[in-house]
Structure 1
Amino acid sequence: MSQLEYHIVHRIRQQIKRLGQHTALRYPQDGQWRDISWHALGEQVHQLALALLAQGVGVQDKIGIFSPNMVRWTIADLATLYLRGVTVPIYPTSTPQQAAYIINNADIRVLFVGEKAQLEAALAVAAECPLLERIVLMEGHCDTEDPRVCDYAAFEAMSKQADPDELAARLDDCRMDDLLTLIYTSGTTGTPKGVMLDYANFAAQLEGHDQRLALSEGDVSLCFLPLSHVFERAWTFYVLHRGGVNCYLTDTNAVREALVEVRPNVMSAVPRVYEKIYGAVQTKVAKAPIHRRALFHAAIAIGSRMAACRQQKRSPSALLNVAHKAADKLVLSKLRDVLGGQIKFMPCGGAKLDAGIGRFFHAIGINVKLGYGMTETTATISCWDDGAFHADSIGTLMPGAEVIIGEKNEILVRGPMVMRGYYKLPEETAANFTEDGFLKTGDAGAFDAQGNLFITDRIKELMKTSGGKYIAPQVIEGAIGKDNLIEQIAVVADARKFVSALVVPCFETLEGYARELNIKYHNRLELLKNSQILAVVEKRIAELQKDLAKFEQVKKFTLLPKAFSMDEGELTPTQKLRRKVILERYHKQIEAMYKDSHRKEPPQH
């Protein structure tokens, strides 16, 4: 196909015409999963596009979507694109002030809000947003008298006032250099920046993924990561481009049940999902009788040997084939059933996946494809191959991506998937590119002889101890945070004598230990102060970081009774730590860990 044929609006319209009554979208309602055909999708997108036209939306005007995942998220997105408008996602958990900043900075004229929570947030700041003309509630009933607010059906009814010929003209005039979206990077510090991505950026990713993935027409994808993030949004476009079925899950707490009900063939996930599944399996195995533990470990060993054969594209021996069939029947297939039993492959991104966890999933027959990318690169720059790949790497380069290693070993990327720049920020844009057009990723890395790319440090997040040692906190957090006992961890080291950490334990696991040890307690705070519990956590942390250099290892830690959250400003919408906020909020606890650090004592808590 030519690049223009990869224009996402062109591809969607082609699939509507070609697939007609086949299922395009699926969503839960009243305890059942309901289907929307390609034909019905086309009609709904067309109606909403006409309503937006009646509202006076012009070419390249900005339309906001402030909503959790739902079918109408994608319909509003596509309707905007039909008109050559620009979609601006806002995370559904954003505060009113965060939403107001994006609404004003992006010049949003129409805002789709998902549910009552987003409507209330929008109304709280609507008076501060002079360009905002219309707020459309996608789910639920409007009980406000604000003239700018209407429900979805009332807005859709405005389609009768629009000129269908104008919509047809815009559809015929689709251009690759039009802006498709502004995605505001959450950032661990500073003000969000609007990343400008055009149709050529997304077309490059559609074309590149066609060369690297085997997604077939009718394959089912479970959509549960936020559509407001580039990863799930770009993946949804790819699923629709291939004629797949996209299943929308609003309640992320229901993923386990949805996997069994939907039985997806593919699903985008972040490393934390794999870490939790892995941790839960390991905890269950540890409590099993000795003969069942032996069977599990033997099956994983056989699965690992079979995975090595697949990666190296060599035939397994007859003996391995027989052993694998038995291991699969007794153990491996049951582990795959936790994910629905029909997974072909699972894209994974957003952070580095622990190599051991990656190998475990390949051993049980789940083809996890770890990828690396940024909002600024329309997601994927590199990913694991189906053939041989290094589990410690972030894969080999995607088609069209050009990567070099620059100063301070920084990964620099150039190619058709790289953003146009930051909206209204020419100086910031220039500062993030080299003179010859390479985007600065902020990650330090290296290639091996086989072309695998490795991240070695996060340049922008390196900490320096008072002894002059550089610490990459994400490496330490990754090593310790993969355990089922650890829910969250924030490393502290900058200008300090040694590394310490704030740790949020997994209370479900911790309470299990308390029952086993017959520990009585009244509340979580009392549990966290128990000397036996502290000893369990200390021992586990020591085991998890034994492969780190001595100067990188956590010497002291403090257990916290409450998780870091977006509501408290401690996490970005992509679940990255806002270290500045955390350091300020837990200043007293941090100082307590360093108070007597001049004494040569065993680690305290």
Structure 2
Amino acid sequence: MAEGQTLPPFRPLPQKSPDVEMTRKGGAIYIKSRQAPGLRPSTIPHALAERAAQHPDRVFIKERDPETDQWVEVTYGDANRLTDSLAQAFLDLGAGPDAPVMILSGNSIRAALVILAAQKIGAPAAPISVPYSTMSNDFDKLKHCYASVKPAIIFAEQLAPFQRGIAALGAQDCTIVSAAPGGDNSVRHFDDLVSTPPTSAIAAAMSTLTDDTTAKYLFTSGSTGMPKPVPQTQGSMCAMIAGQEGLRDDARDPDYDPDKIAHVLDWLPWNHISGSNVNFNGALWNGATFWIDGGKPTAALFHETIRNIHECSPSTFGTAPIALSMLAEAMEQDEALLKAFFKNMRSIGYGGATLSDDLYDRLQALSIKATGRRIPIITMYGATETQGITVVHWEAERVGLVGLPLPGTTLKLVPNGEKLEVRVKGPSVMPGYHNDPKKNAEVFDEEGFYCLGDAVKFVDESDPNQGLIFDGRVGEDFKLSSGTWVSVGTLRPDFVAACSPLIFDAVICGQDKDFATALVWPSPATAEQYAKAAGEPAKGFAALVADLARKASAFNAGEPGSSRRIKRVLVMTEAPSIDAGEITDKGYVNQRLVISRRANLVQALYAEPPAPGVIQL
């Protein structure tokens, strides 16, 4: 838009305005919402039963059939009935509060039914990151997860991709359940179990569910060691729903009007908080239709997300910034996709990383082009151990915010060097890691606040209602030899955005050095385009490096201080390793581990003269 031109208004976001209370004690700052928590279900299985009674014929979940490529669906009524039968089968097979159900498959209708059925009888569902059993060579993380929860049942919808992983477990005391034909006699077929006549035992089991009942074990990302099992209680999941309800400024499911049903299109894995507890549980509570997106933000699979947007026209869309970047690039070239995406869109959500200013502006320009209005771009901040604890629930004019605490949650901001470290207490916070008292003693402070290890700062400390800004990981920032602090949490996403679409992520180096440098991973899709244009990979890579040098130099030109300028860059050819813990399946990169594991590349960055391949800026 032209300079000085008035920006169009936002599409209305039906949320209450920020209203927080801030107090100080002993150097710490405490922040909580003045809004009270709202309505919530007694448990997630009871929420399913209520929705099934209210609108049994409404579509609950949709997915593409891999054989026919057509959408198949299950209604709320069918989901409630099928999970009753499946819960009875699980009960007959020995599942229960001390005998979980482990899920190895990705997101699917059957996986959703398994998770909900297990919860009905108080058997914790334990969805495991798919790469642990399909992309790993040693299966160490899979074996660790298995040993941590000791499941009675393992569900693998398709056996073939998971057979090596299951064999590595030596799970002789487990019942294997699959929907795939051809399993031996030790494998129980899903269709047989889902046909089990339910008994009064299911209602009896549901009547015993309380806030303290463990509904799931979700494992941490494993970015700082082996994944840790985090009990997700019915109370913690429902407390997060209550917090969101306390901010709602419209009817949750107005008159059950079919034209007002929310449609959620989502790929985020159910072994993580965002996909499982925020998006999936939220869709269930709101009576929405949940479309399982078979696409992912990768060069090979994002075309599937684009195809699904054309058919779904979702009303909400939450994903990682890398996916929003790929989506923006596609919409800038595809008018039909632009119209389909914004046709019913109420708000865009992001999480897992900071959204860059450049991407925010591009998305708003696209929204204005499609609708004449800006779109609320919101985020929720939290962790596996805490659920969502803060949210941006207003039409924010800037990025980088993590919002303000949900009703019922108290933040404690503790000075840590030059930063404010985030700690949290509330009903959505875990009671403690499963069977790990030593670690539990480390992560809760003397007042019982959970320590996240992140830092935030105020937009304006004199007006806390303007919100909090993510200020990086406390343990990732470092000092240059000059004593100048480098804030990795803000520099990294800004540098990646400036070099978009050439790279998909970066690691910032420079502790105790004279200047900051970066190790970067090229975007596979972009690298492929360069190779095709040049006629061969080597020439394409050289052209990409040349363009990257120009973009990085332009970034430096706009940065006045040494803490924000990257002096040297090295493009990595080895992808980040999940097995080694360099990256999680959500895409979070462990800075310190990459630097440690690739110490030879860091040495190359700082060699004098610089090693071959190092870009000097």
Q: TM-score w.r.t. structure 2 length?
A: 0.81
- SS of 2:61 mapped into structure 1: strand
- SS of 2:514 mapped into structure 1: coil
Instruction: Say if 2:405 is the partner of 1:367.
Output: no
Instruction: Say if 2:475 is the partner of 1:460.
Output: yes
**CA shift for structure 1 position 247:** 1.1
- SS of 1:406 mapped into structure 2: strand
Distance 1:211 1:3, change over 3 A: closer
Instruction: Say if 2:156 is the partner of 1:113.
Output: yes
Contact 2:40 2:242 in 1 (8 A): no
1:496 is aligned, of 513, 533, 540, to 513
Amino acid at match of 1:505: P
Distance 1:480 1:206, change over 3 A: same
Distance in 1, Cα, partners of 2:190 & 2:413: 49
- SS of 2:152 mapped into structure 1: strand
Alignment match, 1:98: 141
Alignment match, 2:443: 432
Distance in 2, Cα, partners of 1:513 & 1:126: 43
- SS of 1:422 mapped into structure 2: coil
Q: Point out the more displaced range, 60-69 or 559-568.
A: 559-568
Distance in 2, Cα, partners of 1:474 & 1:47: 47
2:548 is aligned, of 537, 540, 551, to 537
Contact 2:215 2:232 in 1 (8 A): yes
- SS of 1:500 mapped into structure 2: strand
Gaps of 5+ in 1: 285-330
RMSD: 2.8
Distance in 1, Cα, partners of 2:402 & 2:338: 24
Distance 1:481 1:123, change over 3 A: same
Alignment match, 1:249: 293
Instruction: Say if 2:218 is the partner of 1:166.
Output: no
Amino acid at match of 1:527: G
Q: Deviations over 1:356-401 (max 9, x none)?
A: 43344345233321221111111x2222223456533222221112
Alignment match, 1:188: 223
Distance 1:338 1:595, change over 3 A: farther
Alignment match, 1:550: 562
Distance 1:205 1:118, change over 3 A: farther
Q: Deviations over 1:267-323 (max 9, x none)?
A: 2211111222335567x5xxxxxxxxxxxxxxxxxxxxxxxxxxxxxxxxxxxxxxx
Q: Point out the more displaced range, 29-38 or 229-238.
A: 29-38
Distance in 1, Cα, partners of 2:110 & 2:447: 41
- SS of 1:58 mapped into structure 2: coil
Distance in 1, Cα, partners of 2:571 & 2:115: 42
2:283 is aligned, of 205, 229, 239, to 239
Contact 1:353 1:370 in 2 (8 A): no
Amino acid at match of 1:106: V
Contact 2:377 2:395 in 1 (8 A): no
Contact 1:51 1:156 in 2 (8 A): yes
Distance in 2, Cα, partners of 1:187 & 1:104: 15
Gaps of 5+ in 2: 1-36, 368-373
Q: Deviations over 1:142-192 (max 9, x none)?
A: 4446x2x333124445x35xx712222112222111111211101322121
Contact 1:261 1:340 in 2 (8 A): no
Alignment match, 1:265: 315
Higher RCO (Cα < 8 Å, 6 or more apart): 2
Alignment match, 1:591: 603
- SS of 1:445 mapped into structure 2: strand
Contact 2:471 2:489 in 1 (8 A): no
Distance 1:439 1:70, change over 3 A: same
1:41 is aligned, of 79, 95, 120, to 79
Amino acid at match of 2:220: T
Instruction: Say if 2:488 is the partner of 1:473.
Output: yes
Distance in 1, Cα, partners of 2:581 & 2:445: 32
Alignment of 1:72-151 (within 5 A): 72-94=110-132, 95=136, 96-127=139-170, 129=171, 132-138=173-179, 140-144=180-184, 147=186, 149-151=187-189
Alignment match, 2:409: 401
Q: Deviations over 1:217-266 (max 9, x none)?
A: 52111121111111111121111111111111234321111111111111
Distance in 2, Cα, partners of 1:118 & 1:522: 33
Distance 1:461 1:585, change over 3 A: closer
Amino acid at match of 1:344: R
**CA shift for structure 1 position 471:** 2.5
Contact 1:142 1:151 in 2 (8 A): no
Contact 2:40 2:241 in 1 (8 A): no
1:422 is aligned, of 413, 424, 433, to 433
Amino acid at match of 1:79: A
Distance in 1, Cα, partners of 2:340 & 2:495: 25
Contact 2:222 2:581 in 1 (8 A): no
User: Aligned residues: percent identity?
Assistant: 21
Amino acid at match of 1:374: A
Instruction: Say if 2:366 is the partner of 1:349.
Output: no
Amino acid at match of 1:375: T
Alignment match, 1:392: 400
Distance in 2, Cα, partners of 1:496 & 1:10: 57
- SS of 2:131 mapped into structure 1: coil
Alignment match, 1:522: 536
**CA shift for structure 1 position 551:** 3.1
Amino acid at match of 1:535: A
Contact 2:40 2:245 in 1 (8 A): no
Contact 1:6 1:206 in 2 (8 A): no
Distance in 2, Cα, partners of 1:435 & 1:404: 12
Alignment match, 2:587: 575
- SS of 2:317 mapped into structure 1: coil
**CA shift for structure 1 position 535:** 3.0
Amino acid at match of 2:393: D
Alignment match, 2:523: 506
Contact 2:146 2:169 in 1 (8 A): no
Distance 1:547 1:43, change over 3 A: same
- SS of 1:84 mapped into structure 2: coil
Contact 1:223 1:246 in 2 (8 A): yes
Distance 1:368 1:6, change over 3 A: farther
Distance in 2, Cα, partners of 1:506 & 1:34: 33
Distance in 2, Cα, partners of 1:555 & 1:4: 52
**CA shift for structure 1 position 570:** 3.0
- SS of 1:210 mapped into structure 2: helix
Instruction: Say if 2:58 is the partner of 1:22.
Output: yes
Distance in 2, Cα, partners of 1:439 & 1:466: 33
Distance in 1, Cα, partners of 2:242 & 2:71: 31
Contact 2:294 2:305 in 1 (8 A): no
- SS of 1:361 mapped into structure 2: helix
Distance in 2, Cα, partners of 1:275 & 1:484: 8
Instruction: Give the number of equivalent residue pairs.
Output: 540
Alignment of 1:557-568 (within 5 A): 557-566=569-578
Distance in 1, Cα, partners of 2:479 & 2:38: 49
Distance 1:359 1:335, change over 3 A: farther
Distance 1:541 1:55, change over 3 A: same
Distance 1:353 1:473, change over 3 A: same
Q: TM-score w.r.t. structure 1 length?
A: 0.82
Q: Point out the more displaced range, 354-363 or 424-433.
A: 354-363
Q: Deviations over 1:331-362 (max 9, x none)?
A: 9x867425262211233212222244334434
**CA shift for structure 1 position 208:** 1.6
Alignment match, 1:294: none
- SS of 1:412 mapped into structure 2: strand
Amino acid at match of 2:475: K
